[in-house]
Amino acid sequence: MNFLQKVRCILTMGRGVVSGLPEASADRDPMDLFGEWHKAAGKAGILLPETIIVATASADGRPSARCMLLKGFDQRGFCFFTNYESRKAGELDENPYVALVLHWAVLQRQVRIEGKVSRLSEEESTAYFQSRPRGSRIGAWASKQSHTLEQRTTLESRAREFDSKYPGEHIPLPPFWGGYLVEPDRIEFWQGRSDRLHDRLCFLREAERWRAERLYP
């Protein structure tokens, strides 16, 4: 973090703590509010403000969680990308419900998201895949994500193999790789306040509308 980013963090730190969250109102669009918070996290100089915890569960209810990067959001929901043969993808095939968490400690803010996932179209996955650095695209082909790797040299060898197979800038989308869209039915905003009297504002999806309610901290 450079000096300017540190200054931004200091200037931004107390704003939400002092002002808190607005009163619960169904007139407030939670996706718009999320966009404002995400933008504020970026301006505050936070490293990788798009970092999310993605929690999944198997068919028998055994949970697992990992850090990933949020790669987009709009009125449809939230997007992330992964290997469709990974553990998380297998669990999403068995149980298509997911929970996401974003935590911006310096702002004392947290967002919790719950919803159902579906795979993005091949066109959307291809568009994002082609925007990645070349090495990351080669890495997607080389990695058998979540499967046992006896020794690292095997992974490195596979990376060299695909680097030779696709020598130019165009590297096709692997058939086992792509994106997910999380369509939220619950979004909770948490704002830290003094004396641990924090603000929690929860939006619940009901048909085509959102219902807002305030929760005890």
| Beta carbons of 14 and 20 less than 8 angstroms apart | no
Residues 6+ apart with CB under 8 A from 69: 48, 50, 51, 52, 80
Convert 66-78 to b/e letters by CB count within 10 Å (16 or more is b).
eebebbbbeeebb
Cα 204–182–82 angle (5° rounding)?
155
186 catalytic, yes or no? no
| Cα-only R_g, the chain | 20
Q: Which of 28, 196, 200, 209 is catalytic?
A: 196
Q: Report the chain's terminal Cα–Cα distance, integer Å.
A: 31
Secondary structure (3-state) at 42: helix
Instruction: State how far the alpha carbon of 6 is from the alpha carbons of 12, 43, 91, in Å.
Output: 10, 11, 39
User: DSSP states of 69-133 as a string?
Assistant: E--EEETTEEEEEEETTSHHHHHHHH--EEEEEEEEGGGTEEEEEEEEEEEPPHHHHHHHHHHS-
Active site residues: 196
